[in-house]
Amino acid sequence: MVRAAIPARERLIFALDVADADAARRLSDTLGDAVVFYKLGLELATSGGYFELLDWLVGRGKRVFVDLKFFDVPATVAAAVRNLRNRGITFATVHGNQAIMEAAAAAAGDVGILAVTVLTSLDRGDLDDLGFACDVERLVLSRARRALEAGCAGVVSSGLETKLLRAGVDDRLIVVTPGIRPVENRPADDQKRVVSVDEAFANGADYIVVGRPIRAAADPRAAAEAIQAAIGRIFPGG
């Protein structure tokens, strides 16, 4: 079972969504050893210095998740994924149909490909707008099964659907859960399908992705350590 092999402090992935690479380095220095695993997304990719930052983090012993949600013709996605190999990258995301997922998985090498199921910023009404004539749970389960068939390492899925995935999909599939919010104080933001740290892992997540609750805290390091402490209680000795 994949979950047992993950060190507890690596289960927290911090979404390093800041304006530029310099700000990212400063925040990483502030967080210190409170964060082991970082997610680098689109904002940093378009601000310059993305791969220099990635190499800097890897050089400091950090794990890195490249969250660029590749979505293009399969050959282009495969070429992009190949460019990520042998850089110390743990995960990269793709967002697309079976051919795109298969192309990414075939080109992945040492990079674990995560297929996005349904963004946590989308709800039933948003799916209607996009033309999906099914409920969120059915769509997540279908995409997760197809991701496993395509050779992906795992999926990105809301914690609300993780229990369903664990019941309906092979347990080898890694589940990374974003949209983590404190249960007692969930702010109004663009995340609609959210869960707490405890809920995410109780439902079967392998990793959680946390951004604002750490980044916007008065003391980001203390906020990260509080989440690490919660994870440590869930996975004692991990």
Active site residue 69: yes
CB atoms within 10 A of CB 166: 16
**122 touches 135 (CB < 8 A):** no
DSSP category for residue 203 = T
Nearest to 13 by CA among 141, 174, 171, 122: 174
Maximal CA-CA distance, the chain: 46
How many degrees, rounded to 5, is the angle at CA 84 between CA 76 and CA 33? 145
Instruction: Single out the catalytic residue among 62, 69, 163, 192.
Output: 69
- Burial string for 180-215 (b: 16+ CB within 10 Å, else e) reads bbeeeeeeeeebbbbbbbebbbebbbbbbbbbbbbb
CB atoms within 10 A of CB 169: 18
* CB neighbour list of residue 199: distance below 8 Å, 6 or more residues apart: 159, 183
Residues annotated as catalytic (active site), given as ranges: 69
